[in-house]
Every structure is written in structure tokens, then in C-alpha cells.
Structure 1
Amino acid sequence: MVDKNSRGSRAPFRRGLVWLRNDLRCADNTALYRADKGSDALAAVFIACPETWRSHGDGDNVVAFRLRSLQHLQQDLAARNIPLYFLELSTFAQVPAALAQLAHKLHVDAVFANAEYPLNERKRDEAVRESLREVGVPVEYCTDRTLIPPGSLTTNSGDGFKVFTPFKRAFIARHGDEAMDPLPAPRARSGDHLQLWPEWQALEAENNLVRTIPKTVGDYGVPAGGAERVLDWPVGEAAGLAHLETFSEKVDDYLKLRDFPGVEGTSRLSPYLNCGAVSIRQCVKMALAENGGHWVGKSEGASTWLSELLWREFYQHLVVNFPRVCRNQPFKPETEQVPWSRSKHDFERWCAGETGVPIVDAAMRQLNRTGWMHNRLRMVVASFLTKNLLIDWRRGEHYFMQQLVDADFAANNGGWQWAASTGTDAVPYFRVFNPYSQSKKFDAEGDFIRVFVPELARLSARDIHCPPPVDGYPPPMCNVTDSRKHAIEVFANLKS
């Protein structure tokens, strides 16, 4: 081991450690950039906490995507002669002591990480700061998952924004002219750089924590089904950037095509943004370039997609400004009194895509088969569950977390509460999507339904949205007109 202070009268030799989380890329990684800039020797660590991941609702699909992306990042870092350690713990509670132990054994001078914002993650990170302080190692948390630090954009009264449109206006007014330039990847080190860091085996023998990154998700304990459902997604930073480049060629058509599930009209970048294979700044930079440097203007498609990126930003800010949403509570406290249905049978039919409402069933089967769902349909199925079936939004939120390859707590919670009228929405409780009109409007010929509900494949475009009795396909679970009226009455009574 090289003594970090063995340079005599020269400046001290600095060793930096980057703690990677959902930021699995080399380029435009703020913590990695800061560590690279301030360190002579550089290493990284990823800490898996499967028990906490499960308690937070992370399903097999998102874990499989995360681990496969991590394997690609290890290769990218190895090409730069930067080692990546892998710690496998059970829970967040074990992280502070383990990270302090590792930092001590590696003789690092500083730890760098990109901030995460749900409540438990913030508590973990503060505990890590205290634990590292005890061994004399400072930690720097960087803004990277968002464009600006959550909590930094407030109303004139100093409160966090509760509605998206004012948030968007304030963001553009205060930050719209700021450069969103991505940061460079860390510089490649010489082969001798690896000699400064102990190999896996030495640390593994010492503390029984460090191990090699699983070669397959099966080695890690993720069921094969989770692995299979993400195989159609190329993973890693290069794949994410290629996906972004492909979308840049059609972003101008985003507004025209984004609501039609039967066409490739959305970016499908959410899994890459979620695990950090692509950064939010890289996405914004591309869209601004297509939009003449403006957040609103030249291209309706690029402007609309920029607005969607700000929705993602908004939800990340919400979990900081209103931490009750991280405690399984509704954003609007009065909606805690909604008399939700406890029907296990109804919920299971919704999960399985057996509701008898074709567009709902097609969407749920898409989710179950692929680990992804078109955004328009996420709103439709969420509205159907919470308004027409009056089933607690938290059950749907959890099911989505279990199934989605892009499962992100802030975005998923925000979307579900928006649909259920328990969250942030300028439109009151009477927003209820009619699944039949949504189907006719956005899947007019029924092409999407035919892919995922083959029982109805032979029906005409006129009949497929609200079909006559068909062998093997269930009748509708409810009358959407009557159930909508009932839901509105329930919420109206709460308001009064």
C-alpha cells in the first residue's frame, strides 16, 4: 500500500472513493467528476441492500436492470483502470459502519456520492456522514439526479410548490437560462493505478463484506423471470446514450405521437434515467438543442418532452418538501378517510388484466409481460383502479413498483397520487378517465389491444373497445358511468 502522505514536501497524495447508487455511468456523473477532479487515486463502490430494496417495493425487474447496468459500468471503469468494489449488505442500517470500515481500510481521504431524496435514503446518507466523520473522512453529496437541489425552488412564501404548472414557470424563470452542460467522464489512469488499491480477495477475507459483482442476476438471487423481462432492454451507458440519440431524431413528433400506445412515440428512456445510465442533464441538453435553446418555443415536441422532464424533477422535489408521501401517506391528508374497497378479488383481476375492459387489460398485460407500460395507459389503469373500483392507490403503487423495470419511488408515488386525486393536481377529485373513450381516441383501430388481448383479435375496430360477449374473455367488472359517479360522491363528501 502506498502511503498517501509519502510525497515529502509535495502536496498530499489524495485518494477518493465514489459511492455509486442510481447513477451508473461514467460521463456526466457529478460525484464521479468531483472525485476525479480532486483525487490522485480513484476507486468506486456499489452497496447492494436487498432486504431494504424489497421493503421499499423494488421488484425483480428493476433490480435486474440495475445489476446488469452495474456490470457494464464495471467494465467501463476497468477500461479506465478504476476499480469498482461491490458490498452486499442486508439493510440500509448496515451501510454507515460498513462504508466507514471500507473507507478506513482503503485509506481514502474523501467519499463522494450523488444525493438521493426519499426519506429513508436521506436518513441513511446522514448516518453515513456521521460514521465517516468518526474515521476522519469527509463525504460530499452532489446534485445529480435532479437539475437543481430539491428544496431550493420555493414559492414567494418560502414553501415548496404543490402544483406542477407554477413549479414549471418558476423553474424556467429562475433557471431556464442556466447552462445544462454535461460533465466529462473521469480520466483514464495508468495501469499502475490499480496497484494502489487492494484486490477483491484481500478485502473479502478481511471483513467478509466485499465480493465480486454477480455475473448473472441469478447469482444474486433475482428470480429468472425478472431477468427474462429485461433482456429486451439493452443496458449500460452506451446503450442509454444510443437510445437518447435515436429519440433525438424523432423528438419533434413527440407531442403528436406520445399518447398512442400502438406506436413508438415516447422516449422509453425512463429505465436508463432511473438507474442513471443516462443523466437528466444529457436529456435536457438534447431537447434544448432541438428546441433552439429554449424550454418552450421552436418545437412543440421538444417543448412537451422538456415539460415531462420537469414533471420528473417536480416529483423528486415533492419527496423532500413533503416527506409524508414517503411514509405511505397521501399528499392530501383528508383523503386518508376515503372508504377504499378491500376486495382482493377485484384487485387480483386488475393485476392480471382480466377486468373485462380491453384497454385496461391490454395495459396490465403489457406491464406483466414486459415490465413496462405506456405512460398514457399508466394513467388510465390507475384511474380505473382508484376511481372505478375505488381500491386504495397504495396497492396499485406497490404493484407497479414490483413490476416496472423503471420503478422510481418519487415518480411512481407522484403519478399514482395524481391519478387517485390524493396528490398534487390542480384539477379536483372529479378527474376520472373513461377507459372506453381513451381506448377509442388513442388506439382507434384496436391494434394495441389485439397484441396483448388476443381473445379479441378478430373483433372489428368498432367492437374491440367495448366488446360483445366473447368466449374466454370476461364481462366488465363494473359500469364505468355508475362507478365514476359513486367515486365523485365519495370525494365530494370528504371535501364537505
Structure 2
Amino acid sequence: MQLIWLRSDLRQHDNTALAAAAARGPTVAVYLLSPQQWLEHDDAPCKVDFWLRNLRELSASLGTLNIPLLIRTASHWDQAPAELLKLCRQLKIAAVHVNEEYGDHESRRDAAVAETLKAEGITFHSYLDQLLFKPGSVLTKTESYFKVFSQFRKVCYERLHRSMPALVKAPGKQEKLEVSSDPIPDSVKGFATPSQTLRDLWPAGEKEARRRLDTFTDAQIDYYQSERDFPAKPGTSQLSAYLAAGVISPRQCLHAALQSNQGEFESGKVGAVTWINELLWREFYKHILVGYPRVSRHRAFRPETEALAWRDAPDDLAAWQEARTGLPIIDAAMRQLLETGWMHNRLRMIVAMFLTKNLLIDWREGERFFMRHLIDGDLAANNGGWQWSSSTGTDSAPYFRIFNPLSQSEKFDSEGLFIKHWLPELADLNKKQVHNPADLGGLFGAADYPSPIVNLSTSRQRALAAFKNLPSRTSSGGDDE
């Protein structure tokens, strides 16, 4: 008997470990609920709920193949080896199959499980699945991990020209086993159930993920490059939550994008090329987790930035978290996050730069807050984005590049449609006034909207000074976008 241990790969199609297990003989699937670990990793309640809903869909689809899905609890990953060994003994399992996961805790967990099973004569197989390229296979000429995305992408392109990662065939129906699937719990202790409104925005299951991918690559991908930065437009694929939970694979995304672009990934339609570029950013940040494990441990990618004199400003942090900074684009973005479990990518950069540069608050505060609310929360992408924005990370924006939230707002929400949707208290302002109601001095219906908590100009200078005082800083200049 074969066991597939499901983690962030909640799908039947194009699932490497599932296909490999089924090819070797009768297969059972297991998923471990790990609430204590999830709390330590700051996983959001809406994300845990999304996993449970996807498990329910997956259980039904595996059921059509006679593959039972069992649910076990290992509250902390330390308990995973014992829990899996117990199950393997019960079912007389010969081999356990998993798709690789990345991150310090994940690697240690899998090594511990492999060791425990091996001692019992049970083999442990792990497969490349949530990435296009195995970490350690895309390296610089000196055999080290890339630190700069553009150079990483170039090597990925060379590899893709040579061979395209193939889709994995879904397993066929097996003989019925004497094992029944377990019911999937509606909730997990410690994680509140999100509102129905939020759940309705993110229907579970492979069919929905595939529908979104097909809709995007059929109709929207051509406009992706020109519309993806405008939060009021439906310019993005809305697939990030499905990718994070593995309800759809990056291979499926890549193949669909190529199909829409006559097989090209470097030329042809600029929308498709730009979107494939985003898939490679996702890839890059996961390779960074493996190559530079310190980022898994709450450390800055650029070690010299650990010396930054961050402010301890709990009131400012609370205003940012609660969407009352007095800067409409920031507050609208934070309300979008709080109510939907998701934030538009351009806005993620704007609010992150505001927190780390204008408020000079440690990026780790923002990273943690995002993870606690994002339905697509992913350590690699979230950490990578926060460190990029705060100039502590890979490929980081030069420290003197500080997005001005007002000019970003005017540029990417020029009509104020996004702001007015999330801040209805500003609905009566015209498209010029809505970006900075402070200019009105509390008149014209904006009286109940707070004043800005910070002066953008003086706070920018404060950030520049803090970065200039770091050791081994050689560049200087100014760039206020």
C-alpha cells in the first residue's frame, strides 16, 4: 500500500506525488491538521478555512478514484513523524510520497519524518512539484544561488528553451479499498470562520481554479501588462490563493499562458510574457528560501540592514493595521485586505513602503500582519515582497526609492474608484480631492476621515537618514515615485 501525504498540493490533476504513488499500487491519502504550527506561522483564519474547503472538494474527487482521504492531527510538526508512523503501521504502508515544500521548518519536518520511516523499513519519496525548477539547479557561474531576479530569470529562460516541464497525468480509478475517507472538519480550534462574503469571493476546488485560469488566459492575459497595476480594474488572474494551496500548479499556469501565446514565453504577447515573469518571481522567492535559510528565520536578506534603527511606534502601527492613516490609498488597500483576505499587488508595495519608509516600522511587523490576514499567505512570496519594499531584501529597490502614496494614488487610481469603493465616507469628493482630503481641511463631507498620521516629506527624509547611517552603504541619490 502507498501513502500520499498531502500538504500544499490540494489537487488531483498534475500532482507529481499522487501520480507516482498511484503508479506503484493501491494508494491512500492523508492530510495532517497542525493548528499549533499554523498559529506559530501566523496563518490566517481565512487561509485555514480555504484549505479545509479545498480538502472537502479534493476528498470528493479522490473518492471517484477510490482513493480515501484520511485526516489526522499533529498539532505541531514535531508530532508528524510519530503520527505518520502510526498510520503506516495500521495500513501496512510500504512507501510514503510527498511533494517537496520549502522553508526551514518544512525541511526539518520532512527530514525527521523520512528518518523515522526509514528506521521502520518504509521508504520516503519526495518530488519536485510546486516549482518549475528544483532549488539548487538554477545557479550562478560560481555555483551559488542568485540574489538578483533578472539574472535568475535569464537562466530559467535558457532552461525553458531546452525543455518545458511536462504536465503529470492524473491517476486512474483503483480497486475499492477497505479504508473509508474521514469527514473534513468545518473548522479548526484557534481559527475563526471567516464571513460568508469572504468565502464567496474564493470558491474552493480545482474546477474553480481551472475556470479562473481559463478565463484569464482566454480573455484577460492580453491586457495584463497594461492593466495589472490599476486596483479598480480586474486586471489580475486572482489565482494566488489557489497556487499557495496547490489547488492549481505553476506548470498548469505556464502551459495555459504559453497556449495563449503560441508557445512563446519571451516574445509575442506582452501580457503573457509579463504574467510568466510573475510566475518566475514566485519561483525566485522559493529558491531564495532554500539558498538563504536566514529569511525563514525572520532575518533580513541583506545582513547589514539588521542594524536599521526602526521606530517603536505602536500607535502608528495600529493606525496602519486598522486603515486609519489618513492617506486614502493606504486605508482603502488595508480595508481590502481586512475584508477580502487579499490585496492587489501594486497596493502591497505601496502600503509596505509606507510602513517601512514613511513610518520607519520594522518590515517584520508588516510581514506578520499580512500573513495573519492573507488567504494567499505564502512565506516565500510574502517575505520576498516585504523585504523588497523595505530595501532589506533581494533585488531590493534602492533604499532611496520611496513610493509617494499620493502620486501612486493619482497614477493608479486616477478617478478614485478604488478608494471610493473601500472608503465610502469619501464618496462625495471629486477625483482630485479624493487622494488627499487633508487639503480640504475637513470640509465637503470628509469630516469623519482622519488627518494623515505622518508628514510624507519629513518622514521620507527620516528614512533616508536611517538608511544612510548603515554600514557598507555606498550609493546615494533620490527617487520619489
TM-score bracket, shorter-length normalisation: over 0.9
Q: Deviations over 1:116-138 (max 9, x none)?
A: 00100000000000010011110
**Alignment correspondent of 1:182:** 167
1:97-147: CA deviations, max 9, x gaps?
Answer: 111111121111111000000100000000000010011110111001111
Distance in 1, Cα, partners of 2:156 & 2:466: 35
Counterpart residue number, 2:89: 104
- Which letter does structure 2 place at the counterpart of 1:34? A
CA distance in 2 between partners of 1:420 and 1:245 (Å): 35
Q: Do the aligned partners of 1:17 and 1:111 also contact (CA within 8 Å) in 2?
A: yes
Gaps of 5+ in 1: 1-14, 201-210
Q: Which residue of 1 aligns with 2:24?
A: 38
Counterparts of 1:466 and 1:86 in 2: how far apart (Å)?
51
**1:222 Cα deviation from its structure 2 partner:** 2.8
Work out whether residues 32 and 186 of structure 1, in 8 Å CA contact, stay in contact via their aligned partners in 2.
Answer: yes
Which of the numbers 5, 16, 27 marks the counterpart of 2:13?
27
| Amino acid of the structure 2 residue aligned with 1:213 | I
Q: Which amino acid aligns with 1:212?
A: P
Quote the residue 2:476 is aligned against: none
**Which residue does the alignment assign to 1:266?**
236
Residue matched to 1:246:
215
Alignment partner of 1:383: what SS? Answer: helix
For 2:23 and 2:30, locate their aligned partners in 1 and report how far apart those are by CA, in whole Å: 18
Retained in 2: the 8 A contact 1:104–1:135? Answer: no
Q: Counterparts of 1:118 and 1:411 in 2: how far apart (Å)?
A: 12
Aligned AA (2:227) = L
Query: Which runs of structure 2 are paired with 1:305-320 in the superposition (5 Å)?
Result: 305-320=275-290
| Cα pair 1:52 1:92 within 8 Å, conserved | yes
Say if 2:322 and 2:334, in contact at 8 Å, map to a contact too: yes
1:53 corresponds, among 10, 34, 38, to 38
1:94-243 correspondence to structure 2 within 5 Å? 94-190=79-175, 193-195=176-178, 197=179, 199=180, 212-214=183-185, 216-217=186-187, 222-225=191-194, 229-243=198-212
Residue 162 of structure 2 aligns to a residue whose secondary structure is: coil
Partner in structure 1 of residue 340 of structure 2: 370
Distance in 2, matches of 1:425 and 1:156, equals: 18
Amino acid at match of 2:177: L
Q: Is 1:69 aligned to residue 47 of structure 2? A: no
Q: Offset of 1:227 from its aligned partner?
A: 6.4
How far residue 317 of structure 1 moved from its aligned partner, in angstroms, is: 0.2
Does structure 2 retain, via aligned residues, the 8 Å contact 1:96–1:127? yes
Paired AA for residue 71 in structure 2: F
> After superposition, what is the alpha-carbon deviation per residue over 1:234-259, rounded to whole angstroms, capped at 9, x for unaligned?
11111111111111121011001100
Superposition CA RMSD, Å: 1.3
Structure 1 stretch displaced more, 284-293 or 43-52: 284-293
Using the TM superposition, give the Cα deviation of residue 396 of structure 1 relative to its aligned residue in structure 2, in angstroms.
0.3
Asked if structure 2 preserves the Cα contact closer than 8 Å seen for 1:176 and 1:295, the reply is: no
Note if contact 1:291-1:298 (Cα within 8 Å) is conserved in structure 2.
yes
Check the 8 A contact 2:33/2:74 in 1, yes or no.
yes
**Secondary structure of the residue that 1:213 maps to in structure 2?**
coil
Matches of 1:43 and 1:244 in 2, distance apart?
Answer: 29
Q: Is the 8 A contact 1:64 1:226 kept in 2?
A: no
Aligned length: 465
How far is 1:289 from its partner? 1.4
Contact 1:64-1:227 at 8 Å conserved across structures: no
Superposition deviation, residue 491 in structure 1: 0.6
Take 2:449 and 2:285, find their aligned partners in 1: how far apart are those partners?
38
CA distance in 2, matches of 1:176, 1:375: 29
Segments of 4+ moved more than 6 angstroms: none
For 1:331, the aligned partner's letter is F
- 2:266 is the alignment partner of 1:296: yes
1:411 and 1:305 map into 2 onto residues whose CA distance is 15
Q: Return 5+ residue gaps in structure 2 as ranges.
A: 474-481
Amino acid at match of 1:165: S
SS in 1 for 2:83: helix
Q: For 1:348-374, what per-residue CA distance to the aligned partner results, in whole angstroms no more than 9, with x for missing partners?
A: 100111000000000000000111100
- 1:41-97: per-residue Cα shift (whole Å, max 9, x none)? 111000111000110110101111111111110000011111011001210000011
Which residue is equivalent to 1:475? 451
Q: Secondary structure at the match of 1:66?
A: helix
Question: Do residues 79 (structure 1) and 44 (structure 2) align?
Answer: no
